Chain A
Amino acid sequence: MAATVLIVDDAMFMRRMLADILQKGGYEIAGEGASGKEAVDKYGQLKPDLVTMDIIMPDMSGIEAVKEIKKHDPKARILIVSAMGQQALVMEAIQAGALDYVVKPFQPSRVLEAIERILKR
């Protein structure tokens, strides 16, 4: 069975693109969220195998969302997908429990590789 992914990004543009990439890569899209708050809520409902998480979002940042999700499910697998120029925040997210990160703009293969790596852990 295909692994399920929750895509979190405040830009629909990014969510659509990530969804296309992941579906082509053989993953199933469990759901989408447009804020940190939605990420936490949907994670609880959908229990996806993996989350792709943006950092800068309205209504709770990606970092807060990582912390919150990890609090409820320490095994949660989260990949940060964030725009360039936020290295410090990416590091903070990794410290909070995210497993890896990809910087926008990304190559589709780079996203798929990162996800594969995380799921193999």
Chain B
Amino acid sequence: MDISKYLDLFISETKEHIKLLNDSLLSLEKAPDNPEAVNQVFRSFHTVKGMAATMGYDSLANLAHRAEDVLSEVRKGTLRISPAIIDYCLAVADFFEHSIETLKAGRDLPPVQGLLDKADGILRGEDVAGAVRERLVQDVDEIKIKMLRLDHLVNLINEFILARNRLMRIQARIRDADLTEMLEHLSRLIDEQSDEVMMMRMLPLSHVFDFFPRWVRDESRRLNKDVEFVIEGGDIEIDRSIIDDLQDPVLHLLRNALDHGIDVKGCIKLVAHRERDFVTISVEDNGKGIELGQLREAALKRGIVKPSLLEKMTDHDVLQLIFRPNFSTRQIVTGLSGRGVGMNAVKKAVEDMRGEIKIETAKGQGTKFTITLPVRMATIKVMVFRLGDELYCLPLVNVIETFNVSEDEILKVHHREMVIFRNENLPVIRLKVVLGLPGNGVRRHAAIVAMLPSEKRAILVDNIVAQEELIVKPLDPLVKNRLFGGVSIYSDGRPSLILEPRGLE
């Protein structure tokens, strides 16, 4: 019988068991007396053993068999779950993973004797401490090849959207009934197609999150800290291009919480939420919190702000200093955080994903970082508006609604201009003033009610042009500033600068 045709199935099913093993072992670590978790670990070793033996991977089958023996003793009650046993089983799971990568690469299986000996030690009742594991990087090459194609498809659809938008402009000029109908049909098809491809690009956050429980466990053991780690929202889907870039910043925040937040014992929560077109991902610890006094001192010592300026700064402003380049209050390098890549790198990474990062802290209660990211990346729905002769746009996710406002309706409250809309006082942003454009003396404006990171504002513009789905192109670094996040081509071919909501505050 030709066994090789079962290789893919063997690999995918073994992977499922590796995941089951990791999950069950981590839950056993918290509750060693959980019989269902013990049974699951036993079954996974047993199933992998059967499959490996059938495939003719004898060394792998032997290892699984021996691990199953260890779990058999646990089931019988002659062995008790101990950190050493969990370490051992995790090491076996790692070995499975490593073996799969080796098989995929068409190489021979790695030697297994060390792990067999360790099992013998455990079965003899020795405490086999410190089973050394290497972190085995997941190989996702296979997916990447497909994703390249998908990226290409997204580009093609973006071209479609551009062509459709142009066609709509032409239609607005010639107003042909048949063309209108055809165009509507075409629009629907393109929208559907675009949605479909966007969905194909989405991956659950668990793709990144699944790696963390194990990492937190290993690191907290290394640091001798007792850390409970909670994950929520791993099933929330987000664009793949964001997933890829998410691991490092989140890992950095977890490191931060482990290293600076938690003292000896505590809890770290990694929670994702979906809110409209945004996903928020927060890393929260119940540790020491950030000492603002120390922050002020450190900022002075490093010359990050002038003493006169620092005096005037609010606690909120002082807290933002940790996002400045080269800022760290850590005196000793711990081997984890504090190695030069500071919070500044995290902020930059998040902003590169068109996201935001916020920090909240309370002394003695803990620190919470919240990253807010758009769910989708490749195209952006914007509101296009005019200032003088130029077109600008604002991401539609930030737009709540629009209304018309005259100068008489703008009130001055404590040097701040406000306008009342739907019983709410909205601070006014005169965009022309912000951008340094000449005014034209008109007394009526269009106002865009926009949700900026900190509050709702009314942004005054000359007039609203349209809502469109446009493709974002990055701005040349020479032109780039805090006010503009990118540039896009409007359907009539004119460039239009995309306002960066963060920059307007």
Residues of A in contact with B (beta carbons under 8 Å apart)? 10-14, 16-17, 20-21, 56-58, 82-86, 104-106, 108
Contact = CB atoms under 8 A, between A and B. Distances in A.
Given A84-B65, A105-B54, A108-B1, A10 B6 contact: no
Given A13-B51, A17-B6, A57 B43 contact: yes
B40 A58 contact: yes
Contacts of A57: 43
Interface string B22-52: 0000000000000000011011001101110
B46 A56 contact: yes
Contacts of A13: 6, 9-10, 13, 51, 54
A58 B50 contact: no
A11 B1 contact: no
A42 to B, nearest CB: 20
Interface size, B (range) = 20 to 34
B53 A56 contact: no
B474 interface: no
Nearest to B40: A58
Given A12-B13, A104-B53, 15 more contacts: A11-B51, A13-B6, A14-B54, A16-B6, A17-B54, A21-B1, A58-B39, A58-B43, A83-B49, A83-B50, A84-B49, A84-B65, A85-B49, A85-B68, A105-B53
A19 to B, nearest CB: 11
19 contacts: A11-B13, A11-B51, A12-B13, A13-B51, A13-B54, A20-B1, A56-B46, A57-B43, A58-B39, A58-B43, A83-B53, A84-B49, A85-B49, A86-B46, A104-B53, A105-B53, A105-B54, A105-B56, A108-B1
A84 B66 CA distance: 12
Contact of A14 (B39, B42, B51): B51
The 9 closest A-B pairs by CB, nearest first: A83-B50, A105-B53, A105-B54, A104-B50, A13-B9, A56-B46, A13-B13, A13-B51, A11-B47
Given A17-B6, A85-B65, A105-B56, A11 B43 contact: no
Nearest to A16: B9
B276 to A, nearest CB: 38
Would you call the interface of chain B mostly helix, strand, loop, or mixed? helix
B47 A56 contact: yes
B18 to A, nearest CB: 14
Interface string B45-87: 0110111011010000100010011000000000000000000
A57 to B, nearest CB: 7
Nearest to A108: B1
A56 B9 contact: no
A104 B54 contact: yes
Contact of B46 (A12, A83, A105, A108): A83
A100 B43 CA distance: 22
Among B54, B56, B68, the one with the most A-chain Cβ atoms within 10 Å of its Cβ is B54
Contacts of B9: 12-13, 16
Contacts of B42: 56
Given A16-B6, A16-B9, A17-B6, A10 B47 contact: yes
Nearest to A15: B9
Contacts of B40: 58
Contact of B50 (A11, A12, A16, A108): A11
A84 B13 contact: no
A20 to B, nearest CB: 8
Nearest to A24: B1
Nearest to A54: B50
Interface in B260-274: none
B120 to A, nearest CB: 16
Among A13, A17, A20, A105, the one with the most B-chain Cβ atoms within 10 Å of its Cβ is A13
Nearest to B68: A85
